[in-house]
Amino acid sequence: MTEMTESDVHAALKTAGAILSGHFVLTSGRHSDTYVQCARILEDPALVTRLAREMASRVGDREIDLVAAPAVGGIIMGFAVAQALGVKFIFSERVEGSMRFRRSFEVPAQARVLVVEDVVTTGGSVREVIDLVEGAGGSVAGVVSIIDRGGEKAFDAGLIPLLELEVESWETDSCGLCAAGEAIDSPGSRRLLG
């Protein structure tokens, strides 16, 4: 399989509807003309497989014993990357505000673990998975993601993104799209009710 360039990844995500253009309210409450909805990738198993193989290939010759991902966004991509690498997969879940490995998932002592996430902004969830892995006696061999949204990260492990996508955002009172009367959308799952 040929290597996907950033342009290839960007085009595939746009085609899948994972990168949207318009006027959006972000989870932070800020406004932007770009929104990332990685769940749209999951509608296309062939695309998931292609991206996962690319993520696995970017790990290079690092020895990986296990893949771990935070729920919910990283579960399917983490599984697909583990499948591409031929190793086991586990995921963490948020319980009472903090990430935990449940369902009898374990990190074997001295296991070399690859952490997989769909989109990394600050990397808070990735940091929590790293802490779980290291707390269990494993070590993190690296972190891969589909998208790195830029900015300072909460972890030191090297991040290997398929696409770097810095998304500009504004406070409501300085949003030119609001001033122009553009309709606004809030597609984020954290705003869903009931």
> In one letter, which amino acid is 106?
E
Question: What is the pLDDT, as a whole number, of residue 193?
Answer: 40
Question: What is the pLDDT, as a whole number, of residue 12?
Answer: 96
* Tokens at 45, concatenated: 């198993």
- pLDDT (tens, 9 = 90+) of the chain, 194 residues, equals 458 999 999 999 999 999 999 998 877 778 889 888 889 999 999 999 999 999 999 998 999 999 999 988 899 999 999 999 999 999 999 999 889 899 989 999 999 999 999 988 888 899 999 999 999 999 999 999 999 988 888 898 889 999 999 888 888 899 999 889 898 888 765 544 43
Q: Can you tell me whether residue 91 is helix, strand or coil?
A: strand
In degrees rounded to 5, what are phi and psi of residue 136? -90, 0
**HEC string of 127-193?**
HHHHHHHHHCCCEEEEEEEEEECCCCCCCCCCEEEEEECCCCCECHHHCHHHHCCCCCECCCHHHCC
| Domain coordinates in residue numbering, the chain | 6-191
Question: What is the pLDDT, as a whole number, of residue 41?
Answer: 94
Q: Sign of torsion, CA 165 171 172 176?
A: negative
Residues paired with residue 91 on neighbouring β-strands, in sequence order: 69
Q: What is the pLDDT of residues 92-110, one digit of tens each?
A: 999 998 898 999 899 999 9
Find the Cα–Cα–Cα–Cα dihedral 122, 89, 41, 123, rounded to 10°: 0
Residues 6+ apart with CB under 8 A from 36: 18, 19, 20, 119, 147, 149, 165, 167
Which CATH code fits 6-191? 3.40.50.2020
Alpha carbons 192 and 194: distance in angstroms, whole number:
7
Q: pTM of this prediction?
A: 0.87
